[in-house]
Structure 1
Amino acid sequence: MSDDITPRLALPLLQPGQAQKETTHNEALVLLDLAVQASVLAVGTNVPPVAPAAGQAWIVGAAPTGGWLGQPGTIAGWTSGGWRFLVPREGMAVWSVADGQVARFSDGVWTLGVIAGSRVAIGGNDVVGARRAAVPEPIGGSIVDIEARAAIAAILGGLRGHGLIAG
């Protein structure tokens, strides 16, 4: 770790005997303001806005231009002192206002709207778990009910379409 920055967010640290410590401290606060409970207006934007407001932020796209040149994949936030850039860390999550979804940084890229987990529980009750074996569709039998068979096939098709059972 450098003695000049923090290991996770690269926030500037105060140094013994440093003049104008408030400048370093304020820079760290500005970067924290971008990182904590992060929210961006859009993901993958390459062109900086013409008249951003202080506090607005974007996830920079892969081919940035203008004031964002050389900052692909970073979080660009506008401050009273100009653009500040936050380099994302593995697993970082940011709310995208434009998409109404979470963007997550993993393996060097931002992924929008993907939620990963091993189960979904509501009120302590599992409602979706690991995918189970395929449910066989009805075939044959001594009494064939065409309507019942069509209803079961539609239910199975819906469950498969939503990825809740294997197809």
Structure 2
Amino acid sequence: MSDDITSRLALPLLQPGQAQKETTHNEALALLDLAVQASVLAVGTNAPPAAPVAGSAWIVGAAPTGGWAGQARAIAGWTSGGWRFVVAREGMTVWSIADGQYARFSGGAWTIGVLAGSRVSIGGVDVVGARRAAIPDPTGGTVVDSQARAAIIAILGCLRGHGLIGA
């Protein structure tokens, strides 16, 4: 870690004997305001808006221009002092107002609306776990009940379609 900035969000640190400490402190607060519980107006925008409102933020696209040049994939926020940028870190999550979903930074890119985990639990009860082996469609038998068979095939099709069982 540098003696000038924090190791995670690169927030400026106050220095012993520093004049005008309020400038450094206020810059750190502006960056924290942008990064903590972050929400953005849009994800993947390359050009800064012409008339941004203080407090508004965007996730910069892969080919930024203008005031965002050199800030690919960062969170850009407009403040009374101009643009502030927070560099995306692995696992960072931001609410995208335009999409109504979370955007997550992973592997050098932002992904919108994808949830990742090993199980879904509701009220302490696992309702979806790891995918199991495929269930074969019913075949054969001595007594054929075509309606029951059609219903089972429809159920299996829905479960496969939702990714809850293998194909």
Do both share a fold (TM > 0.5)? Answer: yes
Aligned to 1:148: 148
CA displacement at 1:120 relative to structure 2:
0.2
Kindly provide the amino acid, as one letter, of the partner of residue 77 in structure 1: G
Paired residue type of 1:102: Y
CA distance in 1 between counterparts of 2:136 and 2:86 reads 51
One-letter identity of the residue aligned with 2:25? H
CA-atom RMSD, angstroms? 0.7
Deviation at 1:147, TM superposition (A): 1.2
Moved more, 124-133 or 26-35: 124-133
Name the SS of the counterpart of 1:94 in structure 2: strand
Counterpart residue number, 1:166? 166
2:98 paired with 1:79:
no
Measured in 2, the distance between the counterparts of 1:107 and 1:8 equals: 17
Task: Tell me how far 1:50 sits from its aligned partner.
Answer: 1.1
Amino acid at match of 1:71: Q
- Structure 1 distance, partners of 2:35, 2:85, is 10
Distance 1:64 1:89 in 2: 18
**C-alpha separation in 1, matches of 2:135 and 2:25:** 61
Offset of residue 165 of structure 1: 0.2
| Superposition misfits of 4+ residues, deviation over 3 angstroms | none
User: Any idea what the Cα deviations from partners look like across 1:42-80, whole Å, max 9, x if unmatched?
Assistant: 100011111111110000001111111111100000000
Q: Which amino acid aligns with 1:152?
A: I
**TM-score w.r.t. length of structure 1:** 0.98
Task: Give SS of 2:71's match.
Answer: coil
Listed as ranges, the gaps of 5+ residues in structure 2 are none
Q: Which amino acid aligns with 1:150?
A: A
Listed as ranges, the matches of 1:1-167 within 5 Å are: 1-167=1-167
